[in-house]
Structure 1
Amino acid sequence: MARVLVAVIALASFCHAVIREEDFAAEDIIVRDIAILGAGASGTYAAIRLREDYNLSIAVIEKDDHIGGHTNTYTDPETQKPVDYGVLAFWDYGPAKSYFARLDVETMAAPPEGGTTVYVDSETARNVTDYQVPAFSDVLKSIAIYGNESGKYDDILLPGYWNFPSGDDIPADLLLSYGEFSQKYGIDNFYPMLQIIAGVGVGGVRDIPLLYVMGFGLDHPAIQSLLQNGLFVPKSGSNAEIYQKAYARIKDDILLSSSVVSAERDEHDGVHLVVQTSDNCKRLIKAKQLLVTPAPSIQNLESLDLDDQESAVFVSSTPRPIHVGLAKTSAIPRNYSVQYVSSKVAPDNYLDMYQDIKHDLKIQSTGPEELQLFRVLLETTSDLPLTEDEAKAYVTSQVQKLAAAGTLNSVKPPDAAAGSGDAQTANGGAVTVEFKAFKSHSSVMWRLPADEIKAGFIQNLYALQGHRSTWYTGSLWCTDFSSNVWAFTDTVLERMVGARKKDG
């Protein structure tokens, strides 16, 4: 199937329409040094650095009507208090703190998360009463072991995989499955915490190659920050502040609600991008180089006229359906969070927490006390993509099931009143779920088996850097945290600008 898809892409590339400059009015032609596709964490950071540190002209194309990517903040209309429900905090790693200082964003240590987590069966929504939460002292020992082992590979995993070996030179542990690695070092009790932080393993973590957990999920700097309380947030309480201040600096160079509809890219002539803008007009961007920040999949990048080399790599990506949101409900008490898990986890089969289940749903108490808000995080297996309406319906049905089962009756205040919003009914009782905000964070991931990693997949991936005047950054090229992405972006910009100077 993959070969067929590559062939189709190749045929489409061969037949693409030629971009003619004379088809555009002079005012609709934008000439820049660098074009940037996407204004999430990496695209916004790159735009700031290219303008201010490298003194290069830029044009940023962003499909949404705002910048910020997976940083989502809801502002309560009555209290004007912000509540983050996308990115929650930042590791103190690489350029993170200096980036905040550059943008005049004051920071403070991330406040500790309190409250009680209730673990419920994903099938019945009943409390998994015989599940034994691992002792924190034991988890700390496992974290230290994981951190020590991950630190051995800093030179080949951080801040990206520029130096990653191939074949028999790859450290043997990195080719183990996570289950084998966890058993080898006796750290099964670390997985519940790892899953909360990195979200890895819906459907089962045992057979996932360690490289994808340690390299793309939770790396050594994250472990160090975890042990040293190195997480931080803006003092304002709003992660959106970063992007509001960044936007003020680069707003004249951003096309919002815009997307690339066709492209020509060449090693020597740079890139030509036809962009459909928010006013339904088409504009031509001519740039010497292109920086691509969205998740690298065939679907996401098909408008870039992918060639055989690019398609052969990007066809290997696997969909990762994720939705995040903010909901108000009276069905869950304040300061309680609900985590839906596999019944196989009991009593202490920690690696089986999400074994063979297709939905990873967490409902976490958040925000100011008086707002009764819960952060919703729903990830499904790659074969079960959900629309926004389907995701909301699933969350609502699980809250209904929770109420119908009476799972939280022992902790719910007896006089708790139903909340406002669209009432849902379960067993005759009113169960309210009102979604204040909801976003798709769906992306892709790499899940290739060990033999394909040994055969050179990482090298083939990184060989695309600079190919056809195009460079890449973002979470699929390094560990998936903002601080890591910014550190990796620095290495891309250095090479990209260096290649530009070399080419004259």
Structure 2
Amino acid sequence: MARVLVAIVALARLAHAIIGEQDFSAEDIIVRDVAILGAGASGTYAAIRLREDYNLSIAVVEKDDHIGGHTDTYTDPETRKPVDYGVLSFWDYGPARNYFARLGVETVPAPQDSGITAYVDSETARNLTNYHVPAFSDVLKSIAAYGNESAKYDDILVPGYWNFPSGDDIPADLLLPYGEFSQKYGVDNFYPMLQIIAGVGVGGVRDIPLLYVIGFGLGHPAIQSLLQNGLFVPKSGSNAEIYQNAYARIKEDVLLSSSVVSAERDEHDGVRLVVQTADNCKKLIKAKKLLVTAPPSIGNLESLDLDDQESAVFVSSTSRPIHVGLAKTSAIPRNYSVQYVSSKVAPDKYLDMYQDIKYDLKIQSTGPEELQLFRVLLETTPDLSLTEEEAKAYITSQVQKLAAAGTLNSVKPPDVGFGSGDAQTADGGAVTVEFKAFKSHSSVMWRLPADEIKAGFIHNLYALQGHRATWYTGSLWCTDFSSNVWAFTDTVLERMVGARKKD
């Protein structure tokens, strides 16, 4: 399949037509220092810094009708209260707090989760009564051990992999399957928490090389912040505030609901992008540099006229299907969360929490008490990509299965209970799931085997930085948390246009 995709891209390049300025009116030609593809966490941050710190002109192309990427906030129409269901909080790391202050966003410590989690069999939705949650003292010991090991690699993993070694110089532990690493350092007790935070290991974590867990998942800075209660959120209760304030500063340079349909890129002549805009018009962006913040896959970037070097790297990406949303249901009590896991985890085989299952479904009580809302997160294995309707149907079926099994009957208060054995509420009505908001957060990830990492994959990936006047940032180039992505973006900007920085 990989060779087929590369061949298709090569054929597309042969058929590529030269972009002519004569095909565009003067008002449809945009000349800038830097073009930015994507306005999520990294793209928006880069746009602010390039304009305000580097005094460079920018043009941002965003496919959605708003900026913010995976930051999603629902506002209840009656109470006007915001509820975040995408990005929930931020690590106190790198430029994060200064960035919030710059945008005029007041912050407070992230609220502590004081609810109860029910662990249920992903097949039957029945309580795993023989599952033993790891003792908190044991979890702390595992976190400390994990943190000590991850700290050893800060110079090659944080905030990105510019200094990552090659071949036999790669630390052997980074190539170990996570299961072996976990056993070696006694950190099994930490995995349930790690999985909730970083979402690593749907389908099984035992065979994943450690690099993908510590490097792209949860590294040392996040562990430090976790131990120091360093998570924070906007005081307003809305993560959307960050992007609303950012958009007010860059909106003249942002093309929303737009996408690149063709491109020319060259180290000497810069880049030309033909962009299809929201009103179905085409504009030509001419820029000295291109900063790509979209997930780097063949499908996402094929309009950029990828060459063989780029295609050979990006073809290695693996799909990561994720859906998030907010749902209202009476089938689960307030302050309860439900986690669907493999029965293999019982009684204490924590690394088997998602072993051999294709669905990772978490339902978490959230928002103001009176709204009876639950955040839902559904991630599936790469071979099981669901449409929005299929994802909603699966979530609904699992909630109904939970009700039919009577799993939470013993904890439900009388006013929202339901009869044992029936997918019904206390008054006899059928259990329903009303989705207030729903969105795909599907992306891509790296899952190459250890021998390909050793053969130079990270070097090949980073060799693309600056190639054909194109630079990259985002969660596939570093640890996948906003604060780390912002810190990594700083290192990209320093290399891309550092000499132009304002005094």
Normalised by the length of structure 1, the TM-score is 0.97
- List aligned pairs for 1:106-117, cutoff 5 A: 106-117=106-117
2:32 corresponds in structure 1 to 32
Shift of 1:499: 7.6
Shift of 1:415: 2.2
Q: Which runs of 5+ in 1 are unaligned?
A: 419-423
1:432-483 Cα deviation digits (max 9, x unpaired): 1000000100000000011100100000000000000000000000000000
Distance of 2:370 and 2:357 partners within structure 1: 34
Distance of 2:388 and 2:103 partners within structure 1: 33
- List aligned pairs for 1:25-424, cutoff 5 A: 25-416=25-416
Maintained 8 Å contact 1:404/1:426: no
Report the number of matched residues.
496
Distance of 1:85 and 1:5 partners within structure 2: 34
Distance of 2:429 and 2:233 partners within structure 1: 39
SS of the counterpart of 2:324?
strand
1:70-126 Cα deviation digits (max 9, x unpaired): 000000000000000000000000000000010011111111011100000000000
Shift of 1:500: 7.9
Maintained 8 Å contact 2:316/2:448: yes
Q: Percent identity?
A: 88
1:473 corresponds in structure 2 to 473
* Residues 138 and 417 (structure 1), Cα distance of their counterparts in 2 relative to 1, 3 Å cut: closer
Distance of 1:221 and 1:390 partners within structure 2: 37
1:334-359 Cα deviation digits (max 9, x unpaired): 00000000000000000000000000
* Residues 485 and 104 (structure 1), Cα distance of their counterparts in 2 relative to 1, 3 Å cut: same
Q: CA-atom RMSD, angstroms?
A: 1.4
Maintained 8 Å contact 1:42/1:293: yes
SS of the counterpart of 1:31?
strand
1:149-195 Cα deviation digits (max 9, x unpaired): 00000000011000000100000100001000000011111100000
Distance of 1:167 and 1:443 partners within structure 2: 29
Q: Which runs of 5+ in 2 are unaligned?
A: none
Maintained 8 Å contact 1:216/1:480: yes
Shift of 1:15: 1.1
Q: Match for 1:159: what amino acid?
A: P
Normalised by the length of structure 2, the TM-score is 0.97
Shift of 1:3: 1.8
1:283-326 Cα deviation digits (max 9, x unpaired): 00000000000110000001000000000000000000000000
Distance of 1:425 and 1:134 partners within structure 2: 33
Maintained 8 Å contact 2:264/2:304: yes
Shift of 1:498: 3.9
Q: Which moved more, 1:218-227 or 1:11-20?
A: 11-20
Distance of 1:93 and 1:364 partners within structure 2: 26
Distance of 1:425 and 1:27 partners within structure 2: 60
Shift of 1:425: 6.8
SS of the counterpart of 2:67?
coil
Q: Match for 2:407: what amino acid?
A: T
Distance of 1:286 and 1:351 partners within structure 2: 50
SS of the counterpart of 2:93?
coil
Distance of 1:307 and 1:14 partners within structure 2: 10
Maintained 8 Å contact 1:34/1:58: yes
Q: Match for 1:344: what amino acid?
A: K
Shift of 1:4: 2.4
